[in-house]
Amino acid sequence: MDYINKIGEEIGKAAKFISKETGKLVESAKLTYTASDIESQLEKAYASVGKKFIDSCLHENNIPEQLTQEFELILELKKALGDAKDKIAEIKNTKKCPACSEPIAESDAYCKKCGAKSE
Ligand SMILES: [Zn+2]
- 88-101 residue pLDDT tens: 888 888 888 888 88
Ligand 1 geometric centre to CA of 52 (Å): 18
Ligand 1 geometric centre to CA of 33 (Å): 35
Most confident of 51-65, 75-89, 90-104: 51-65
Report, as an integer, the average pLDDT of 42-71: 96
Helix (H) or strand (E) holding 64: none
CA distance 76 to 68: 12
Ligand 1 geometric centre to CA of 76 (Å): 20
Please give the single-letter amino acid code of residue 79. K
The ranges assigned to domains in the chain are 2-62, 78-119
Q: Is residue 103 a contact partner of residue 94, using CB atoms and an 8 Å limit?
A: yes
CA distance 40 to 36: 6
Task: Give the chain's length.
Answer: 119
Ligand 1 geometric centre to CA of 117 (Å): 8
Ligand 1 geometric centre to CA of 104 (Å): 8
